[in-house]
A and B are shown apart, each in its own frame.
Chain A
Amino acid sequence: MAAPKKGRRPAGAQGRPGRTLVLFLIAMVALAGGMFASGHKTPRLGIDLAGGTSITLKAKAEPGQEKAINKANMDTAVSIMNRRVNGLGVSEAEVQTQGDRNIIVNIPKGTNSEQARQQVGTTAKLYFRPVLTVAAGTPTKPAPSTTPSPSASKGADKNGDKNKPSSTPSANPSSKSTPQGRALTDGLKADGKPSPKTTPPGTPKPGSTPGTTPPTPSGNDAAAVAKLQKDFESLDCSTKESRAKAAFGSKATDTIAACSQTGDAKYILGPAEIEGTDVKKAKAVIDQQRGMWIVQMDFTGKGSKKFQSITGKLSKQQSPQNQFAIALDGQVVSAPSVSQTLSGSAEISGSFNQRSATDLANVLSYGALPLSFEEQSVTTVTAALGADQLHAGLIAGAIGLALVIIYLVLYYRGLALVAIMSLVVSAILTYVIMALLGPAIGFALNLPAVCGAIVAIGITADSFIVYFERIRDEIREGRTLRPAVERAWPRARRTIMVSDFVSFLAAAVLFIVTVGKVQGFAFTLGLTTLLDVVVVFLFTKPVMTLLARKKFFANGHSWSGLDPQRLGAKPPLRRSRRTPAAPTDPKEA
């Protein structure tokens, strides 16, 4: 060993590497263990690698309501869309917001993507419709007594035939315990007056005068009415799909036969009296006095007038015609009964729990969303192409890694060992974290993300190069390896931090402002940049310190990559000494 010229490094700095390294490796093993324990051994694959359909929608605000595109509204839209897509029997479809105004719908391979596209492509419609008839959610033989005449109001002349024949009745009437469901037990009353004595929900008000009420059928609608009646009778609400189809796409002015969302009741509903946009806001709250969940809603100015008039009419009706149905996409979410004329703000009470109250409030708020959605891109990838792309990505990664390793070995020789170990550690960490992020935050590895990971090989290796070159500079100054490794570190560390920070900044900005594929790329790049810092600090540096104690490196073996002679180190400043006796073989390679 050469003269330890500047041996004033605090010994402590070199005493810790072993511990750091062990702790780091334990953390790594723990992470990997977590991965195996969680059962997610591979990263979740994106649509472009696994196959499937991916739809990107862009929110458009109604004119004059540009502020409507905000996080709360987008989240509501996502939850409604989720309900629609998954309600269609499309399993595992995934709906998420992306950026500030996009919604991505990913539909895995093997589900009916066309139908799903239709579902998410059309705007959800929320209407308040008066209930004309109620029955259990299965095909009925005799019509309930109250029925006879579905609406004859303004829309009646063009209604009936708009209703497509509903799905084939299924032979097994599902005998649900509560045929009339939650919807019917909901009561509606004026907000702020929680008078417990109001009519029990669903019960006709004793004093109401049935005579003034039901719409009278006009002659020319008879056929339409009969048809609707038939539809209603055969309507089967037992499956998700049939429920969704029952009144899907119906117009506001139609009289429709519809299912309740839970499938336990079906209704004939009159033309819409109030639109979703008439609702200003809705929220689920606990009524302190009664200790139960209720949904409060406020109407807009126009909405309150309509609401006042409809509740005025309905409150005089017999059950079930004193109810109105809140129908989203033709499915009845709730059908509270009305016992008095109500104005601008109202509350719906009934047998809600937190979840159902929140659901209803969401539906009501969504109806108030002044948003519509536009299809931006639709990508369908077959499983075969997805697999091909994944393969290609992996091969490209392998080639890239191999090239980098070859270059490092040729140039840095023994030092390359440190670099390769660090790269491998980085790769393992990246893989494990990606696998864990799948279930944790819904991270899905897509092609750009694979690209990002490959590009990151370069970034990670660059950090080692910065450090190695620093060490070599120190050796050229005539230092021996141990002090060189320690002296080079603070400077290399600063360079690495600054440049990694810039990389990370780029990735973060990209991630925040961009959408779609760019985001996946930015995410991986940011992740790997962070991991790069972690690995260099907690792995590469300690390993370097440990290796500096090994003879092979410390003596500057010609294959160590640290041979002072090859590096052209000046002879140590004390002119008496020559460079350490490395196996002299200077001509080699």
Chain B
Amino acid sequence: MSRLGHLGARLYRGEVGYDFVGKRKIWYGISILITITAIVGLAVRGLTMGIEFEGGAVFTTPKTSATVAQAEDVAQRASGHDAIVQKLGNKGLRIQISGIDTNKSDAIKTELSKELKVPAEDINADLVGPSWGDQIANKAWTGLIVFMILVVIYLAIAFEWRMALAALVALIHDITITVGVYALVGFEVTPGTVIGLLTILGYSLYDTVVVFDGLKEGQRGLTKQTRFTYSEMANKSLNGTLVRSINTTVVALLPVAGLLFIGGGVLGAGMLNDISLSLFVGLAAGAYSSIFIATPLVADLKERDPQMKALKKRVLAKRAAAVAKGETDEPQDAEPQDEAEAETAGAVVGQRRQPSRNNRGKRR
């Protein structure tokens, strides 16, 4: 761990680092590829909608000696519809019948209890009308859109519109990937999945916001110096907050992993599993996007700003002059000059701190 702490320090000071912003084209490419795959998957395979969205019934029995085939047979006879039967971890059965009316369910339940020799009051039933899922989905869409609008407004005020835009792109990116994974793997979409998906909203942004906060700090007084362009600064602050991002992501994923393990491994299926699965996928995508997509995107947008363009010109001019003078101080790519940069590191850090120190003075 101390090694990690040390790495954190070196990242913080910019001694080591990965050029996220410089290599952004690669990551954009990868993301676009993943997104296209997700969309194609969605278009071709579609989502496997759970019973909640189709209408139908799910019966869960306690431990029983009846076999899957037996239960399937009984359920089909009783309902006149196809039934999907699964054996659960606790030796119970999960019998899923789609397309039946909610008011037929009691009869089917009675039949099941008779044939499978399980007392009727021990059978769990989940009956869903065909429009329930639509309602949940509609509400989810409304929620998604309202949230996106609000959060873009908020981020535009708290940070600036470029960051808000980048955060939005990252968010859409995460959701597309998550949905794509569902389409490609064929996981069943249930209200639990929708809950998980909607939670990603807040969570994926949490990461992004942490990174942007570092970015905002770094850009203070940026135009008053000629050492770094915006992109370089962005990359530096990204590397500086990398440990933080990794830690927050890991810590967020751990409880979800616990849920997934229990929900999937012990209970077999159900709400816990559905929520945690979509959360897990979404969180992972969220961590990736806030580092590889959101920040580089902000840098891209920022570099179009006339002020930043001017800054870049000045920085490059200064560097050219320095090269002409034969000086070795040319911070361009992070990797080749780890050593060369080491001595300037202190000065760099000082610079970053300087403005905020002034700020503090004002506040107190």
Asked if A514 contacts B4 (CB within 8 A), the reply is no
Asked if A517 contacts B127 (CB within 8 A), the reply is no
Pick out which of these stretches binds chain B: A135-143, A153-161, A248-256, A464-472. Answer: A464-472
B 122-153 binary contact with A (CB < 8 Å = 1; else 0): 11111111011001100110110011001100
Complex Cα gap A200–B227 (Å):
98
Asked if B275 contacts A448 (CB within 8 A), the reply is yes
Q: Does B304 contact A (CB under 8 A)?
A: no
In-complex Cβ contact of A378 among B125, B255, B259 (8 A): B125
Asked if A114 contacts B106 (CB within 8 A), the reply is yes
Asked if A509 contacts B150 (CB within 8 A), the reply is yes
Asked if A502 contacts B360 (CB within 8 A), the reply is no
Q: Does A175 contact B (CB under 8 A)?
A: no
Pick out which of these stretches binds chain B: A205-213, A233-241, A402-410. Answer: A402-410
Asked if B199 contacts A506 (CB within 8 A), the reply is yes
In-complex Cβ contact of B129 among A374, A384, A398 (8 A): A374
In-complex Cβ contact of A505 among B62, B154, B251 (8 A): B154
**A34 CB → nearest B CB, Å:** 28
Q: Does A39 contact B (CB under 8 A)?
A: no
With a 10 A CB-CB cut-off, give which of A377, A490, A498, A517 has the most chain B CB atoms: A377
B 1-19 binary contact with A (CB < 8 Å = 1; else 0): 1101110111011000000
Asked if A469 contacts B9 (CB within 8 A), the reply is no
Q: Does A36 contact B (CB under 8 A)?
A: no
**Segment 107-131 of B: residues with Cβ below 8 Å from A:** 121-129, 131
Q: Does B202 contact A (CB under 8 A)?
A: yes
Asked if B202 contacts A375 (CB within 8 A), the reply is no
In this complex, what residue of A is CB-closest to B198? A510
**B140 CB → nearest A CB, Å:** 7
Q: Does A400 contact B (CB under 8 A)?
A: yes
Complex Cα gap A454–B272 (Å):
11
Q: Does A25 contact B (CB under 8 A)?
A: no
Complex Cα gap A498–B206 (Å):
8
Asked if A384 contacts B122 (CB within 8 A), the reply is yes
Asked if B255 contacts A566 (CB within 8 A), the reply is no
**Segment 424-482 of A: residues with Cβ below 8 Å from B:** 447-448, 451-452, 454-455, 457-459, 461-462, 465-466, 469, 472-473, 476-477
A466 touching B262 in the complex, CB below 8 Å, given contacts A404-B255, A503-B206: no
Q: Does B243 contact A (CB under 8 A)?
A: yes
Asked if B147 contacts A509 (CB within 8 A), the reply is yes
Complex Cα gap A186–B259 (Å):
61
Q: Does B258 contact A (CB under 8 A)?
A: yes
Asked if A501 contacts B154 (CB within 8 A), the reply is yes
B 210-250 binary contact with A (CB < 8 Å = 1; else 0): 10010001000000000000000000000011011001101
In-complex Cβ contact of B206 among A411, A502, A514 (8 A): A502
**A488 CB → nearest B CB, Å:** 12
Asked if A518 contacts B209 (CB within 8 A), the reply is no
Chain B residues near A454 (CB-CB < 8 A): 255-256, 258-259
In this complex, what residue of A is CB-closest to B127? A378
In-complex Cβ contact of A388 among B1, B90, B353 (8 A): B90
Pick out which of these stretches binds chain B: A89-97, A264-272, A350-358, A389-397. Answer: A389-397
Q: Does A29 contact B (CB under 8 A)?
A: no
Chain A residues near B213 (CB-CB < 8 A): 494-495, 498-499
Asked if B209 contacts A378 (CB within 8 A), the reply is no
A403 touching B363 in the complex, CB below 8 Å, given contacts A498-B158, A502-B151, A521-B275: no
Asked if A376 contacts B258 (CB within 8 A), the reply is no
Q: Does A26 contact B (CB under 8 A)?
A: no
B 251-279 binary contact with A (CB < 8 Å = 1; else 0): 11111111101110011001110011001
Chain B residues near A48 (CB-CB < 8 A): 271
Pick out which of these stretches binds chain A: B188-196, B311-319, B320-328. Answer: B188-196
Asked if A462 contacts B262 (CB within 8 A), the reply is no
Chain A residues near B90 (CB-CB < 8 A): 388
**A404 CB → nearest B CB, Å:** 5
**A242 CB → nearest B CB, Å:** 24
Asked if A466 contacts B255 (CB within 8 A), the reply is no
Chain A residues near B105 (CB-CB < 8 A): 378
**B30 CB → nearest A CB, Å:** 26
Q: Does B349 contact A (CB under 8 A)?
A: yes
Asked if A505 contacts B210 (CB within 8 A), the reply is no
Asked if A408 contacts B131 (CB within 8 A), the reply is no
Q: Does B60 contact A (CB under 8 A)?
A: yes
With a 10 A CB-CB cut-off, give which of A379, A506, A507 has the most chain B CB atoms: A506
Q: Does B102 contact A (CB under 8 A)?
A: yes
Complex Cα gap A396–B275 (Å):
13
Chain B residues near A525 (CB-CB < 8 A): 199, 202
Number of interface residues of A (CB under 8 A): 89
Complex Cα gap A447–B274 (Å):
12
Complex Cα gap A465–B250 (Å):
11
Complex Cα gap A502–B209 (Å):
8
In this complex, what residue of A is CB-closest to B191? A517
Asked if A447 contacts B143 (CB within 8 A), the reply is no
**Segment 499-527 of A: residues with Cβ below 8 Å from B:** 499, 501-507, 509-510, 513-518, 521-522, 525
Complex Cα gap A147–B362 (Å):
92
Asked if A396 contacts B258 (CB within 8 A), the reply is yes
In this complex, what residue of A is CB-closest to B262? A396
With a 10 A CB-CB cut-off, give which of B147, B201, B202, B254 has the most chain A CB atoms: B202
Chain B residues near A517 (CB-CB < 8 A): 191-192, 195, 271
A392 touching B272 in the complex, CB below 8 Å, given contacts A515-B136, A589-B1: yes
Complex Cα gap A568–B195 (Å):
42
**A100 CB → nearest B CB, Å:** 10
**A54 CB → nearest B CB, Å:** 10
A513 touching B248 in the complex, CB below 8 Å, given contacts A451-B275, A503-B206, A569-B9: no
A389 touching B129 in the complex, CB below 8 Å, given contacts A465-B251, A466-B244, A503-B203: no
Asked if B267 contacts A388 (CB within 8 A), the reply is yes
Chain B residues near A466 (CB-CB < 8 A): 210, 244, 248
Asked if B192 contacts A448 (CB within 8 A), the reply is yes
In-complex Cβ contact of A566 among B6, B13, B158 (8 A): B6
Asked if B248 contacts A375 (CB within 8 A), the reply is no
Q: Does B52 contact A (CB under 8 A)?
A: yes
In this complex, what residue of A is CB-closest to B361? A8
Complex Cα gap A518–B136 (Å):
9
In this complex, what residue of A is CB-closest to B256? A455
Q: Does A99 contact B (CB under 8 A)?
A: yes
**B129 CB → nearest A CB, Å:** 5
Q: Does B346 contact A (CB under 8 A)?
A: yes
Asked if B257 contacts A400 (CB within 8 A), the reply is yes
Chain B residues near A56 (CB-CB < 8 A): 132
Asked if A377 contacts B1 (CB within 8 A), the reply is no
Asked if B13 contacts A377 (CB within 8 A), the reply is no
Q: Does A567 contact B (CB under 8 A)?
A: yes
Asked if B267 contacts A451 (CB within 8 A), the reply is no
With a 10 A CB-CB cut-off, give which of B8, B250, B258, B261 has the most chain A CB atoms: B258
Asked if B257 contacts A448 (CB within 8 A), the reply is no
Given contact pairs A375-B103, A472-B8, enumerate 18 new A-B contacts (beta carbons under 8 Å): A380-B123, A389-B267, A400-B256, A401-B255, A448-B271, A458-B253, A466-B210, A476-B13, A499-B206, A501-B154, A503-B205, A506-B147, A506-B198, A509-B150, A518-B191, A568-B10, A570-B13, A588-B2
* Closest CB pairs A-B (n = 3): A568-B9, A400-B255, A506-B202
Sample 5 A-B pairs with CB under 8 A, ordered by A number.
A374-B131, A396-B272, A448-B271, A448-B275, A452-B199
Partner-A contacts on B (CB < 8 A): 1-2, 4-6, 8-10, 12-13, 52, 60, 62, 90, 102-103, 105-106, 121-129, 131-132, 135-136, 139-140, 142-143, 146-147, 150-151, 154-155, 158, 191-192, 194-195, 198-199, 201-203, 205-206, 209-210, 213, 217, 240-241, 243-244, 247-248, 250-259, 261-263, 266-267, 270-272, 275-276, 279, 346, 349, 353, 356, 360, 363-364
